[in-house]
Chains A and B, each alone.
Chain A
């Protein structure tokens, strides 16, 4: 009987757990270790953050789901991984009691989601800083409360400054921030308070609409349209100001300190700010059989798990080497360790990194959340199924092959809401396969805004929660 341990129960971990449980759970032991006993549907937290959705509508308990699909659940925070052959196990700390928990494994999936590195930007974050976040449910709830308090001030006639974007020069997940700024705009418009707010998009992207993926390009009527022009129109229409090519360095009460591509330093004042922090890998200890620290064999300095990618290529070479992106998400030193979702180390950025005259690097990190996370979770799970059944791993999907669809909410109303539907293939440009300067399939790639997007976003909320609960027909719902 094989023992498979999955660390984490987010998009990647939950997807892997569902595939593993349904395919191996009856004959083998599949265990999920997570520090949360609920699954959180992250894409809907933008609505929680403006008070349009109750937090409990975005979560469900994990254990009843796992009981149905033959997965064991351990409610514990993973702390140590002992990967050396002969005695391979994970040590966690049980939530509530603090007791140590040991789980032996034959195959390990590391999918714990990101460490939100608020400490990387002094003054950032809701706990020890002055800004807000929608990267966790407690943060989204806190953001909602602060936002609604701001609304009350505006009702009394006060004019306020709202800043939304990225809070670190290497941050990712610009898409979530874009959804939040659009929803804030729409909410204020509905409340009749939009004229009381100056809203600014502050981001580390090289250009508007870059989203950390080098933008989206689509061909319409023979003309290539770029997401930069599209998002510019959205912001102009909404009266949202923007400042890109900017890395936030420090935050103080009501003040954001930044530096831009030109090397200029500046300060932006705010009454309310939601800034996405840098993401890092979870700080697990990787311990060898003699008790020594073997982190360097498994993770990069940021804590992301090294997998079957080609690391260390300069950006110009990386963009010409689609095969540098990992295919199986398998650690080369310990082939029974896989990483899924944000946990795997990408070989480099997708968007062009920039170092300014002061040697200050501004480079959005590659997004590996949502659909990408789910797809990697599936690939990893199906390869483990192959290995357990004595076959060679037969599944692979590089980000240079993946198609991704993203519905970016711009107001949740089913009557007059809106969303941008974005489809891109591949997520990471492949300039060898697609003979255009963008490295994308311009026929498949799609960019469209309208009420239909709001309906799709609503539908996705319900269908994905259905899937993640492993309810009948979940296999028909793509990642």
Chain B
């Protein structure tokens, strides 16, 4: 990504449902793991 507008490819991936489902799972796991580690450290 540059300092300009998002490219067509970037916009495509941002709304491509299957890829976003994958990102949803990855983000949830990442955030939950980090936050829970912090909570019970």
Contacts of A448 in B (CB 8 A): 23, 27
Contact B34 A452 (CB under 8 A): no
Q: Are B3 and A423 in contact, with the CB atoms below 8 A?
A: no
| Total number of residue pairs linking A and B with CB closer than 8 Å | 74
CB-based contact A456/B4 at 8 Å: no
A446 partner residues in chain B, CB cutoff 8 A: 27, 30
Taking CB atoms, residues of chain A closer than 8 Å to B11 are: 237
A449 within 8 A of partner (CB): yes
Contact B20 A452 (CB under 8 A): yes
Bound complex: CA A225 to CA B32 (Å): 23
From the candidates A233, A421, A451, A453, name the one contacting B1 in the complex (CB within 8 A). A233
Query: A residues within 8 A CB of B5?
Result: 233, 236-237
Identify which of B13, B28, B36, B39 contacts A450 (C-beta below 8 A). B13
**Contact (Cβ within 8 A) B13 A233:** no
B35 pairs with A452, CB closer than 8 A? no
Nearest residue in B to A459 (C-beta to C-beta)? B28
- Asked if A265 CB lies within 8 Å of chain B CBs, one says no
Q: Give the chain B neighbours of A230 by CB distance below 8 A.
A: 1
B31 at interface by CB-CB < 8 Å: yes
A478 lies within 8 A of B35 (CB): yes
Question: Which B residues from 1 to 17 make CB contacts under 8 A with A?
Answer: 1-6, 11, 13-15, 17
Give, as a whole number of angstroms, the nearest-CB distance from B18 to chain A: 11
A232, CB-defined interface residue at 8 Å: yes
Q: CB distance B34 to A444 under 8 Å?
A: yes
Chain B residues within an 8 Å CB radius of A403:
34-35, 38
Q: Does A418 contact B (CB under 8 A)?
A: yes
A229 at the interface (CB under 8 A from B): yes
A239 to chain B: closest residue by CB: B5
Contacts known (A236-B5, A446-B30); A456 close to B24, Cβ less than 8 A: yes
Is A479 part of the contact surface with B, judged by Cβ < 8 Å?
Answer: yes
CB–CB B34/A451 < 8 A: no
Q: Are B24 and A479 in contact (CB under 8 A)?
A: no
A233 and B14 alpha carbons, distance in the complex (Å): 14
- Docked pose: A455 CA to B30 CA in angstroms: 15
Cβ-neighbour of A233 out of B6, B24, B38 (below 8 A): B6
In the complex, per-residue mask of A403-420: 1 if CB is within 8 Å of any chain B CB, else 0: 101000000000010100
By beta carbon, the residue of chain B nearest A444 is: B34
| Contact yes or no, B27 A451, CB < 8 A | no
Smallest Cβ-Cβ distance to B21: which chain A residue: A452
A451–B12 Cα gap in the complex (Å)?
A: 11
A425 contacts the other chain (CB 8 A)? yes
A2 within 8 Å of B by Cβ? no
Contacts from B to A (Cβ < 8 Å)? 1-6, 11, 13-15, 17, 20-21, 23-24, 27-28, 30-32, 34-36, 38-39
